[in-house]
A and B are shown apart, each in its own frame.
Chain A
């Protein structure tokens, strides 16, 4: 595949693996989610340029909107856990046993 696709592909993969394997802090999960979002944004933006189909140029904007909401929700949860548990260590959240 072309180097451009490789870079998006590998960025997304590395971020999702990072989400799966970094289980110490909540903020690392959030950061990985953000990077997944970023790589997907850039991929969606390149798409109409590459395929010369201008009608799908709206998609990255929609994506960005929802990712902003999601990032906000994530940060709110981070603040909430820090307030109640004192840190964002995931092993404190023992409803779902880590």
Chain B
């Protein structure tokens, strides 16, 4: 039984790489979108077996295949680690990707380069899975960079659009800043512990803060925590399948996944944990605040993703990596589904993404909007849907831990806001009078839309239950707490719902709200983008110019250096030129002067 685990996982990976390798064998074997989708479906089915084997037998395994012989005493093997995290992540990622690919065959049907699109998505998936299954930092880094590059290519898919190019560039730059942190940690690990294997780096003594800061920076960049977050809302310029796959379920969790993998390094360093906690709390609240006044449906879901990523970071800061992974797993289902529903709505409305121009879609697109509601309910943490199992546990652990109260307050507030903006989106999109401009012939008759969305809806409902039933927690969850603490998450969500209902009453009337500071803060995303993108760059370039021209050129060369010396000589020369007249009077005067000096000296 045990040898089958690694064999089946490798078969999964091989199945996925087949559509990319086939064109190398023959030109006629180019992969079609349908073929890629069926490949992913097959890979999903195959990957279920190792997962079930893991659930039943609790077998984990590490396989090593060959070695990059770059340096003498530093081993970089190609080794895969099939443990709880990678075994669980494979089926979930493949399930979500299968649904998204099936949806994309309908969504991108009118795209001329659809083959390239699908092969890009497949390449992304392979890079992501490689990141997940990596046993050493080298392989993880390969996967990391791979997903970064594919994100760039896919966000800028419609490359004729200037905003798409800007967004892709933004994504790559912010990811690069995170990569600095990752490379820093890798180099520290290589120089101090002489290995890049993840399990060899664990020790009981507290790790110094430097590599941990590097890892946190890497997670901040890749998972869009506050400070390196603007790329995630901007990444919505890419097609909806890209947003669904990369920027909700898979790529953005790579940063959190890195922290989960290297978690034993963090366990003893309380400062790093507190940093994660506060950073996550700040990110989740900031994203939730920005989502309150957004009007683009994809941006709302993007900020919701950002907020949930902050929540995952908070969980890491609570020293609960398994819970963070649970949240990653359940979040993948409903977030991908939300994006697919929004994609269906957008296409049916002929490209309309503004929720102020949607309304009353519940009767027009019943399946899509029902699944949208299910997804939103799961996101809010409705009891016993998927999101509940992870989110409620996180809030309970937050409330019963000895931690920073400020982080706790922010996270609770963010949970309230999550309920608020989710319900706002639901109400504005589905209920009320129709506000769409053109009544396009909307229909959901195509099974390629309905099947993925309903499949993911099923996952959103059942995934939490299934995963928590079969995976044994490594740390005991909090068992007893006061009633109010137990129902805290539910209470604040209910408060958020009431707030949203009240806000909806306001927006359904025709009164124009006056601008106030809070609304401006929220809708301009906290003024973060203009501040960092314009102010800092302008100051940097300005100071660079000042150093180059005024310090170096002007001061050193003209005033003090070569030219300055010449100027000094010039001053003296000008004075002496007046003396050199050529008149004999001057020369005879100097003769007389010499005589007089002689006079005085000879006495």
A-B pair count, CB < 8 Å, reads: 31
Number of residues of chain B lying within 8 A (CB) of chain A: 13
Q: How would you classify the secondary structure of chain B's contact residues: helix, strand, loop or mixed?
A: helix
Q: CA of A16 to CA of B599 in the docked complex: distance in angstroms?
A: 11
B592→A23 contact, CB < 8 A = no
Q: CA of A16 to CA of B602 in the docked complex: distance in angstroms?
A: 16
Q: Which residue of A lies closest to B588 (CB)?
A: A20
B584→A98 contact, CB < 8 A = yes
A20→B582 contact, CB < 8 A = no
Q: Does residue A17 face the partner (Cβ distance < 8 Å to B)?
A: yes
Q: Which residue of B lies closest to A93 (CB)?
A: B584
Residues of B within 8 A of A9 (CB): 602
Number of residues of chain A lying within 8 A (CB) of chain B: 11
Residues of A within 8 A of B583 (CB): 96-98
B272, chain A: closest CB distance, angstroms? 88
A94, chain B: closest CB distance, angstroms? 10
Q: Does residue A19 face the partner (Cβ distance < 8 Å to B)?
A: yes
Residues of A within 8 A of B585 (CB): 23, 98
A20→B584 contact, CB < 8 A = no
* 19 sample A-B contacts, Cβ–Cβ < 8 Å, listed by A number: A9-B602, A13-B595, A13-B599, A17-B596, A19-B588, A19-B591, A20-B588, A20-B591, A20-B592, A21-B588, A21-B592, A23-B588, A96-B582, A96-B583, A96-B584, A97-B581, A97-B582, A97-B583, A97-B584
B399, chain A: closest CB distance, angstroms? 104
B530, chain A: closest CB distance, angstroms? 73
Binding site for B on A (CB under 8 A): 9, 13, 16-17, 19-21, 23, 96-98
Q: Which residue of B lies closest to A21 (CB)?
A: B592
Closest 9 CB pairs of A and B: A20-B592, A20-B588, A16-B595, A96-B584, A20-B591, A97-B583, A98-B584, A17-B592, A13-B599
Known: A13-B595, A20-B592. 19 other contacts (CB 8 A): A13-B599, A16-B592, A16-B595, A17-B595, A17-B596, A19-B588, A19-B591, A20-B588, A21-B588, A21-B592, A23-B585, A23-B588, A96-B582, A96-B584, A97-B581, A97-B583, A98-B583, A98-B584, A98-B585
Q: How would you classify the secondary structure of chain A's contact residues: helix, strand, loop or mixed?
A: helix
Q: Does residue B67 face the partner (Cβ distance < 8 Å to A)?
A: no
Encode B574-593 as 1/0 by CB contact (under 8 A) with A. Answer: 00000001111100110110
Residues of B within 8 A of A16 (CB): 591-592, 595
- Identify which of A20, A21, A23, A98 gathers the most chain B CB atoms within 10 Å of its CB: A20
Q: CA of A16 to CA of B598 in the docked complex: distance in angstroms?
A: 12
Residues of B within 8 A of A17 (CB): 592, 595-596
Q: CA of A23 to CA of B588 in the docked complex: distance in angstroms?
A: 9
Q: CA of A95 to CA of B588 in the docked complex: distance in angstroms?
A: 16
Q: CA of A4 to CA of B599 in the docked complex: distance in angstroms?
A: 16
- Identify which of B583, B584, B602 gathers the most chain A CB atoms within 10 Å of its CB: B584
Residues of B within 8 A of A97 (CB): 581-584
